[in-house]
Structure 1
Amino acid sequence: MTTTPADASSRNTRPPKAQAALGVGVVVQDGQGRILLGRHHGGTWELPGGKVDPTHESIAEAAVRELREETGLEVDAADVRVFAMLHDVVGGINRVSMGAEVTVRSGAPRVTEPHLISAWRWTGLDALPGSLFAPSAQVLAAWRPDLSIEHPPAHRLMIADGTAAAGTDI
Structure 2
Amino acid sequence: MTTDPVDVDVPARNSRPPLAQAAFGVGVIVQDAEGRILLGRHRGGTWELPGGKVDPTHESVAAAAARELREETGLRVPERDVRVFAMLHDVVGGINRISMGALVRVGSATAEVTEPHLISAWRWTDPGALPGPLFDPSAQILAAWRPDLGVEHPPAHRLQVVSDEEQATPGPLPRLRTDSRP
Shorter-chain TM-score category? over 0.9
Q: Residue in 1 aligned with 2:113? A: 111
Q: 8 Å contact 2:85–2:161 — kept in the other structure?
A: yes
Find the aligned partners of 1:143 and 1:160 in 2 and give their Cα distance: 13
- The unaligned stretches of length 5 or more in structure 2 are 168-174
Give the C-alpha shift of residue 13 in structure 1. Answer: 0.2
Q: Residue in 2 aligned with 1:5? A: 6
Larger Rg: 2
Q: Residue in 2 aligned with 1:59? A: 61
Give 2:70's aligned amino acid: R
Deviation string, structure 1 residues 15-37 (Cα, Å, up to 9, x no partner): 00001000000000011000000
- The unaligned stretches of length 5 or more in structure 1 are none
Find the aligned partners of 1:60 and 1:113 in 2 and give their Cα distance: 21
Q: Residue in 2 aligned with 1:28? A: 30
Could you tell me the TM-score, scaled by structure 2's length? 0.88
Q: Residue in 1 aligned with 2:178? A: 167
Give 1:24's aligned amino acid: V
Q: CA RMSD of the aligned region, Å?
A: 1.7
Deviation string, structure 1 residues 34-58 (Cα, Å, up to 9, x no partner): 0000000000000000000001100
Q: Residue in 2 aligned with 1:140? A: 142
Q: How many residues of Structure 1 are paired with residues of Structure 2 in the alignment?
A: 170
The structure whose residues are more often strand, as a share, is 1
Q: 8 Å contact 2:32–2:109 — kept in the other structure?
A: no
Find the aligned partners of 1:23 and 1:127 in 2 and give their Cα distance: 25
Q: Residue in 1 aligned with 2:171? A: none
Q: Residue in 2 aligned with 1:50? A: 52
Q: 1:98 aligns with which of 85, 97, 100?
A: 100
Identity of aligned residues (%): 70
Mean Cα displacement is larger for which, 103-112 or 69-78? Answer: 103-112
Could you tell me the TM-score, scaled by structure 1's length? 0.94
Q: 8 Å contact 2:26–2:65 — kept in the other structure?
A: yes
Q: 1:149 aligns with which of 145, 148, 151?
A: 151
Secondary structure of 1:165 counterpart: coil
Find the aligned partners of 1:95 and 1:116 in 2 and give their Cα distance: 20
